[in-house]
Chain A
């Protein structure tokens, strides 16, 4: 199985400040078609996860441009340019290059 490791696991952030979350996979996630099969999700309190970023760097429809994804292979980063109160929740990375599909442990973002 591909193991996904996120850091940090807890992220207190002051509103208006930037934030960054890292995710490392135990195997490369680059498909032969040139895409990294790697996604970021945000789970707000009491809600199902929502897609933020797919293929490592593509924002999903309706996602604020404050969110950006980067990375390739085994190392990926999610950046929030200016954190807002509505960004609170748990962020998960996920790989779908091979089954079993696996998720990271989650990073809990809270407002200071």
Chain B
């Protein structure tokens, strides 16, 4: 059974750096084709894809956020870490991590964590 769970600080001040950890089970990020993506959703708004990391350490980022984002993985710990610099109130959102295999959809999602940015 595949599960994912997001964790990290949920209240931030502008200009701070967000670090979220996705801890997963039921699959390995060393298996060919497997990836973990990050998607966020501002309150009452639509889903926005942030980026993804694959088993071979290939990373893809949203062009609009690329300069602020870093996604890394620790295969031994079954964790993926999202780092976003220079947080702003507009970055207030629920952040989700999700499992994906190349050519397949996001089939398993974490419950999400609400990150609030406020001075």
| B107, A103: Cβ atoms closer than 8 Å | no
Size category of the B interface is 20 to 34
Of A14-22, A47-55, A70-78, A80-88, which stretch is located at the interface? Answer: A47-55
| A39, B109: Cβ atoms closer than 8 Å | no
Query: B62 an interface residue at 8 Å Cβ cutoff?
Result: yes
| A48, B49: Cβ atoms closer than 8 Å | no
Tell me the bound Cα distance from A35 to B46 in angstroms.
25
Tell me the bound Cα distance from A50 to B105 in angstroms.
10
Contacts of B24 in A (CB 8 A): none
Q: Given known contacts A92-B47, A105-B46, A106-B46, is B62 in contact with A100 (CB within 8 Å)?
A: yes
Size category of the A interface is 20 to 34
At the interface, is chain A mostly helix, strand, loop or mixed? loop
| B103, A35: Cβ atoms closer than 8 Å | yes
| A54, B104: Cβ atoms closer than 8 Å | yes
Contacts of A33 in B (CB 8 A): 103
Tell me the bound Cα distance from A50 to B52 in angstroms.
18
Contacts of A39 in B (CB 8 A): 105-106
| B96, A48: Cβ atoms closer than 8 Å | yes
Q: Which of B89-119 contact A (CB under 8 A)?
A: 96, 98, 100, 103-107, 109-112
Tell me the bound Cα distance from A49 to B48 in angstroms.
12
Query: A7 an interface residue at 8 Å Cβ cutoff?
Result: no
Query: B43 an interface residue at 8 Å Cβ cutoff?
Result: no
Query: B13 an interface residue at 8 Å Cβ cutoff?
Result: no
| A103, B46: Cβ atoms closer than 8 Å | yes
| B109, A50: Cβ atoms closer than 8 Å | yes
Q: Given known contacts A1-B63, A99-B60, A100-B62, is B106 in contact with A51 (CB within 8 Å)?
A: yes
Tell me the bound Cα distance from A49 to B111 in angstroms.
9
A92 CB, nearest partner CB in chain B, Å: 6
Query: A60 an interface residue at 8 Å Cβ cutoff?
Result: yes
A-side residues, CB < 8 A to B, are 1, 31, 33, 35, 37, 39, 41, 43, 47-51, 54, 60, 92, 94, 96, 99-106
8 closest residue pairs by CB, A with B = A48-B109, A101-B49, A39-B105, A54-B105, A103-B47, A99-B60, A100-B62, A106-B46
